[in-house]
Chains A and B, each alone.
Chain A
Amino acid sequence: MSPVYIARVKEVAARSIGGEMMIMSARDSTLFSLNETATAIWQAADGVTPLAEIVQRSLCAQFEVDPATALRDAEELVEGLAKHGILKLSDQPIVEAK
């Protein structure tokens, strides 16, 4: 299975308010609130680090979760965020996000 790369979309506003990431899409002014784990993934979405590595490094270590379960949940989460247009997914590194 090829690795998944994730990058934050530039066309959003984002701010951590008391540890919770608030993201507003410029496309339709929809506001999203990410919980602590989703925030960790969002913040690590640099376009060049594979999702599996992000999960391993940012989630498993921090939240003491099973790597396979965490990866499955993370894949579901990033697909959802991509559908809402606030995250980009690719099977190649996303260089423009740097």
Chain B
Amino acid sequence: MSGLIQEMSDKAQRLGIPLAVQFDLTYRCNERCVHCYLDHDDHGEMNTAEIKDLMEQMAEAGVFFLTLSGGEIMMRRDFFEIVEHARRLSFCVKLKTNAVMIRQPEADRLQALALDAVQISVYSHRDEVHDAITKLPGSLKRTIAAVRLLVERGVKVVFANVLMRENFQDYSGVQALAAEVGAEFTIDPTITPMMDGDRSILNLNIERAQLQQVFRDASILGTSPQEFCAPPAGPPTAEDAQNMLPCSAGHTFCYVSPYGDVYPCVQFPLPTGNVRTTRFLDIWKHSPQMTEVRSITISDLPVCSTCSHGGGSCSRCPGLAYMEGNMRGPSSQDCEKSFVRTGVETAGMLIRREARSIDGLVQIRSAAGPDTKAESLQNCL
């Protein structure tokens, strides 16, 4: 993060300003990606007037960075009307799209909008792999044709390469394709649960050895693997832990669904209010749930505050922890990542292992009769 952006972010946090928002315009999509965490039916999206009004409220609240995402954003017939309104309100706008609906006229209009960036999902440089993930025949060809149109017009394009078992072997190919077409490249090695809590898609996550390979690939890290995978720095000091925040969710960032529901983050499905009944700023400032999220510092995390990874190598996501049942608990996916990165087990992993062995003992006892302790232990995990 550049110095000035960090300063702006710190200032926004001090003043309680929602500096950045991801706003999903729709969950409808023309692709059916195997790893998608969304339900694609329309359960009552906000209409154009509601969206424009919400964006005006956001501008008034101080939102600067606005990411419009979905679903596929261009499934909305009023898509350009919405983005044009966002730019009139001087947001720094980033779009997330699969780009298959972008042809020359759309590329021209996007160029005129002076966007910050267009992030486009690319799963492979090979049609058969990409299209098997999106379940839309011909999608890679259409996506890359759109990328070329945008890059030719000077629009900044960023490839988002989500890694899963199906496409792991292709990330270098996607990286090379990005370089060839003049796009930036980002990689995400984590498949997250569906928003309704269904964890079945986690089976698509890459294996530990594959994640190790990613974390030791200097071409992706932007730093040396030795530095990135260095042993954990130890737990934060008590003083640091009191001042450290888990992440920007609820502090300078939030997420709004197509139905007007406001959450601390797209990956943190804790409902905090709905803009159809309550003004955006009132939810942001006064919702009890948002206030609770905001009150949590690292020292409030019973496991993670003592973890040796807490000083730096851990990228704990409170939303993933929430989806595992406790927003103050560890996130097993992030524990796994920290472990793969450093080779050192996290406090969360040690506790889980201990609990499994206790659980084993309890099961032996329970063979002799019901044991309520077993149930209460299970609930704590």
Contact = CB atoms under 8 A, between A and B. Distances in A.
Contacts of B4: 31-33
Given A10-B114, A31-B4, A33-B4, A17 B92 contact: no
A17 B64 contact: yes
A33 B4 CA distance: 8
On chain A, which size bracket covers the interface? 10 to 19
Does more than half of chain A's interface fall in helix, strand or loop, or is it mixed? strand
B66 to A, nearest CB: 9
Contact of A22 (B64, B116, B117, B156): B64
On chain B, which size bracket covers the interface? 20 to 34
Contact of B62 (A15, A24, A32): A15
Interface in A15-44: 15-18, 20, 22, 24, 26, 29, 31-33
Interface stretch (B8-16, B123-131, B243-251, B353-361): B8-16
B59 interface: yes
Contacts of B90: 12-15
A13 B65 CA distance: 9
A66 interface: no
B63 interface: yes
B15 A13 contact: no
A17 B114 contact: no
A33 B91 CA distance: 15
A91 interface: no
Interface of B: 2, 4-5, 7-8, 11-12, 15, 17, 19, 59, 62-64, 87, 90-93, 114-117, 156
